[in-house]
C-alpha cells in the first residue's frame, strides 16, 4: 500500500508538470509565431512478481505473468510546428517589412556578437542603419540603406526577393531573404524572445530560397499568430485536473487501508 502511494504520487507529479506546459501554451496564445508544446510521459520500471511461462505443480505453464508498475515520469516535450494563422499588419505602409512564413522554415537572425538564432516571429522593422531587425534589434538582413537615403517603399516577394523603390520611380534590388530548415526542429532550444538556438540533435541547418522544395513562402505585411488552440488546451487542463484529483484520491484510499491494517493489530 505504501508503494501504491508513491505510484499515485508520481501521477500527481506528472499532472503538475503537464499543467506547467499547458499554462505556458495558454500564456502565449497571443505571442507572435509561438508553437504549442505537448508534455510526453513514460511508464517507469516494473516489478515482475511472476514471470510468464512458469510451470505449475500439474505441469502446465502459465501463459501470462504478473507485472506491477511503479508509476509514470516526465519524458519530453514535443512541439507542434504547424503554421499559425496569417494576421494582416500595416499593408497601407509601403515601408512595412512585417513578414510571415507560409509553411516550413525559420528566419535566421544574428545579434550584435554574431551569434545566430532562429525565429518564426516576423514583426520586423527597418532601423536607421538600414537593417531589417527584430523588435529586440537582431538583424535579418542589411539593406545598406541609411535613414538619409530617400526610399518610397520596400517590396519583399514570396520567394524572398527584396527591392527598394525610390521617389523617382527607380527600383534597386537587394540581397534576398532566405529561410532555414531543420530535420528535427523539436531539438531546438527555446531561449525566449521568440527565438530558438540550433543544437546538434536538430540537424545541420539548411538554408534555401522560399518556395523551393520544402521551404515555405514569405508573405509581406502579415505576421504569424500563435498556433495554440485555446479550446483544446482548456479541455486538456480539465482532464489533467481530474487526473490529479484521482491520484490524490488513490493516496487517501491507500492511507485509509493502511490505517485499517494498523487497527487490526490492536
pLDDT of residue 148: 64
Q: Are the CB atoms for 35 and 81 separated by under 8 Å?
A: yes
48 pLDDT band, cuts 50/70/90, is confident
pTM of the model as a whole: 0.87
Residue pLDDT, tens place only, 210-224? 999 999 999 999 999
pLDDT of residue 1: 58
Query: Which residues have CB under 8 Å from 115's CB, separation 6+?
Result: none
CA distance 17 to 40: 10
Residue pLDDT, tens place only, 59-114? 788 888 888 888 899 999 999 999 999 999 988 899 899 999 999 999 999 998 99
* Beta carbons within 10 angstroms of residue 133's beta carbon: 19
Helices (H), the chain: 2-27, 230-264
- From 18, 132, 142, select the one nearest 72 (Cα to Cα): 18
pLDDT of residue 150: 79
Amino acid at each position: 500500500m505504501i508503494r501504491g502511494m508513491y505510484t499515485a504520487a508520481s501521477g500527481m507529479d506528472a499532472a503538475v508538470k503537464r499543467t506547467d506546459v499547458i499554462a505556458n501554451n495558454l500564456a502565449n496564445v497571443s505571442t507572435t509565431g509561438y508553437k504549442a508544446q505537448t508534455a510526453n510521459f513514460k511508464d517507469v520500471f516494473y516489478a515482475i512478481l511472476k514471470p510468464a511461462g512458469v510451470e505449475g505443480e500439474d505441469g502446465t505453464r502459465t501463459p501470462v505473468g504478473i507485472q506491477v508498475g511503479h508509476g509514470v515520469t516526465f519524458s519530453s516535450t514535443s512541439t507542434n510546428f504547424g503554421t499559425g494563422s496569417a494576421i494582416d499588419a500595416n499593408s497601407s505602409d509601403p515601408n512595412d517589412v512585417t513578414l510571415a512564413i507560409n509553411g516550413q522554415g525559420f528566419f535566421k537572425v544574428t545579434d550584435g556578437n554574431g551569434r545566430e538564432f532562429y525565429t518564426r516571429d516576423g514583426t520586423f522593422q527597418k532601423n536607421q542603419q538600414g537593417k531589417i531587425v527584430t523588435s529586440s534589434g537582431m538583424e535579418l538582413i542589411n539593406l545598406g540603406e541609411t535613414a538619409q537615403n530617400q526610399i518610397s517603399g520596400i517590396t519583399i516577394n514570396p520567394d524572398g526577393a527584396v527591392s527598394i523603390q525610390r521617389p523617382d520611380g527607380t527600383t534597386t534590388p537587394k540581397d534576398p531573404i532566405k529561410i532555414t530548415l531543420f530535420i528535427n526542429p523539436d531539438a531546438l532550444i527555446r531561449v525566449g524572445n521568440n527565438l530558438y538556438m540550433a543544437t546538434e540533435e536538430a540537424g545541420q541547418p539548411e538554408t534555401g530560397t522560399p518556395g523551393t522544395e520544402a521551404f515555405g513562402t514569405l508573405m509581406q505585411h502579415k505576421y504569424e499568430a500563435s498556433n495554440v488552440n485555446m479550446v483544446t488546451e482548456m479541455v486538456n487542463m480539465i482532464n489533467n485536473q481530474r487526473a490529479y484529483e484521482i491520484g490524490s484520491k488513490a493516496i487517501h484510499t491507500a492511507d485509509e487501508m493502511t490505517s485499517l491494517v494498523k487497527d487490526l493489530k490492536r
